[in-house]
Amino acid sequence: MIKKNVLFCKNNGITLVALVITIIILLILAGITINSLTNSGLFGKAQEATKISELKEIEEFARISYMEGQMEEIAGGEQTTMAGVISDLKEKGYKIKEITSGENAITGIALSEENVTVERNTEKTVTYTFVYSEGTTVRYFVEVQGKYYEILFNNGNIIVNTEETNVGEISKEPEVTVISSDSTTIEASKTENGKIKLTAKDKIGDVEITVKEVNSGVTKKITATTRIPATGLSISQESATVEVGKTLQLTATVEPSNTTDNIEWNSLDESVATISDNGMITAGKSGRTKIYAKAGNKSRECDLNVVSPPITISGSNDLSELFTSEVIKVVYNDSFTNTSYNNLRNHIRLPLKSPQINYAGFVINMDLVGEKLRRIWKS
């Protein structure tokens, strides 16, 4: 639920008390004793007024939270929005008791994370909520002046009861315990309603965290792992060219060397090239793609160009007459003969399918040959 940008002044009650004190001082100056004021119940009335003022502020905050929640989560229904109101009240700093009734009302515990990683020598907070069986009654109470007052939900209307409720006479509220299998690696403790603090020590390892609701006996276990984050990452090549069907090995270096973050490789376009978990690139088809290496929140990339391989024509091929010394001169010496021109013109379609032709130890750039022919044909 989005936090509400609603300001609620909680000073009304304080202002009222200050006013009463001022009146008392004036009365004393007028010759009226404190004892007579106490006997008249003025102090009790001031305290009651302060309580009512605070309860009304809580009620107003809850109503606005509920209305905004209905607009944001209309598909979730009333129960979803009620849970959001209680969450907002807790965030606001109010102490809320959640009490259920019914046999075996709590059937499960849900946690915000079930496989938790915590950086070494740091803390992390995990939240938990209860899963209730169908037909379970859940009641909420807010603490004001050390006493509890029920928050009532009725068809979208929210009222905070001004009469105190003795919560001890109602069914027990959920009681949660949190235990770590190895407190020397990660220490676990319940800090407040719905929150668990995990404190990672200097050791590296996995621990099992057990969350238990005492009254129902329902438990939930999660795995927590201490982590040494990567602080630096480099790769062996930031650009490369590979022929179709060939492979290329990339390597990555991560710092510090004892980091618990693994190196992950990915290809932006796997139809052009794929990469294995150990950094081996396999070129699939001609084109361009990016290869990514990642360790923790560090990443690097390599620009990869996949090209078609040169076509090799054997000396026995019937097109061998095309690849004479004169053709080679066209490329390297910028000279040309009628014989070379006629031969190439008759067979130009096949050679131009590849940018390079390898013949008798010479690599002939057919793009240059084709450009020379185009110049001649235009003249």
For 163, other C-beta atoms within 10 Å of its C-beta total 7
From CA 97, how far away is CA 228, in angstroms rounded?
A: 38
pLDDT of residue 96: 87
From CA 305, how far away is CA 162, in angstroms rounded?
A: 74
* Spatial contact of 110 and 128, defined as CB atoms under 8 Å apart: yes
- Exposed e or buried b per residue across 19-36, where buried means at least 16 C-beta atoms within 10 angstroms of its C-beta: ebeeebeeeeeeeeeeee
Chunked in runs of 10, what are the mean pLDDT values of the chain (379 residues)? 41 58 64 54 74 87 81 55 80 84 73 88 90 77 89 81 80 83 93 88 91 88 90 94 93 91 94 95 94 94 87 42 43 43 45 44 50 44
pLDDT of residue 187: 94
C-alpha to C-alpha distances, 102 to 26, 135, 149, nearest whole angstrom: 55, 8, 21
pLDDT of residue 317: 40
What six digits make up the tokens of 6? 């609603």
For 17, other C-beta atoms within 10 Å of its C-beta total 16
pLDDT of residue 51: 84
Element (H, E) at 378: helix 366-378
pLDDT of residue 328: 41
DSSP letters spanning 116-144 = EEEETT-EEEEEEEEEE-TT-EEEEEEEE
* Spatial contact of 133 and 107, defined as CB atoms under 8 Å apart: yes
pLDDT of residue 337: 46
* Spatial contact of 143 and 135, defined as CB atoms under 8 Å apart: no
Q: Where are the alpha helices (DSSP H) in 30-125?
A: 34-40, 42-72, 77-92
* Spatial contact of 277 and 310, defined as CB atoms under 8 Å apart: no
pLDDT of residue 338: 47
pLDDT of residue 101: 65
Q: Which amino acid is at 210?
A: T
For 44, other C-beta atoms within 10 Å of its C-beta total 10
For 9, other C-beta atoms within 10 Å of its C-beta total 9
Compute the residue count for the chain: 379
